[in-house]
Amino acid sequence: MEGTSATDNIRSHRGVKIKVFYRNCSTSRTSLRGSAGCYGGKIHEGQIVIHKDLKDSIRKVFQRILKETDFPFTGVIPINLFSWNHSMRFNNSAAFDWRLVSNSSEVSDHSFDAAIDVNPLINPWMKKGARNRNYDPKRKGTLDAASAVAKIFKEEGWKWGGDWKHSKDWQHFYRPEIPVPPSAPSRSLGT
């Protein structure tokens, strides 16, 4: 019998690495406590590992964000150069990451290159009505219902965790139409 390990799936996943450009913002746990929260503003080149069918879409999303908004990203670096925890702590935005949904045996859309997290430290997953001291919609780089960035993602065909009813995953944009590889365990709606 052949088993399917996370390693097999990482090896066989179809993600492609593309370049994107973004306005930079330095945000860390330390600077979150300062009043500025986000500073910088230079244009940086980043990389995203994404499903091949989504590369044109994500490129267009980043082009529109740069052109139409002053929204800053802290970093856009493939997560395999970090661990997820380090990436999150750095507020790094990334797409592909082989992982299970928290407290579940189902795999995340990130495992299929079909989701991206935007500034995840300051755009956390939150239960409805809960508070999170890292989440301040007034801080630059933060997403809320009025966010131009969320509007751009949705206009380009992405679903958003900020639209969920029972919880909000402010960082999470995803494409449920991307099929799960046949070898993979079942997928789940999640971060």
The residue ranges that bind Zn ion (CB under 5 A) are 115, 117, 172, 191
| Shortest spacing between CB 80 and Zn ion, in angstroms | 16
| Shortest spacing between CB 27 and Zn ion, in angstroms | 18
Of 91 and 191, which CB lies nearer to Zn ion in the complex structure?
191
Contacting residues for 41 by C-beta, under 8 A, at least 6 apart: 23, 24, 25, 70, 72
The CA-atom distances, in angstroms, between 21 and each of 41, 61, 155 are: 12, 10, 19
Of 22 and 96, which CB lies nearer to Zn ion in the complex structure?
96
Q: Which residue is nearest to Zn ion (CB)?
A: 172
Of 32 and 189, which CB lies nearer to Zn ion in the complex structure?
189
Q: Which of 171, 128, 129, 176 is nearest to 147 (CA)?
A: 171
Beta bridge partners of 78: none
| Shortest spacing between CB 2 and Zn ion, in angstroms | 29
Query: How far, in Å, CA of 6 to CA of 3, rounded?
Result: 10
Of 113 and 117, which CB lies nearer to Zn ion in the complex structure?
117
| Shortest spacing between CB 115 and Zn ion, in angstroms | 5
Query: How far, in Å, CA of 131 to CA of 150, rounded?
Result: 21
| Shortest spacing between CB 16 and Zn ion, in angstroms | 19
Of 36 and 104, which CB lies nearer to Zn ion in the complex structure?
104
Query: How far, in Å, CA of 90 to CA of 74, rounded?
Result: 8
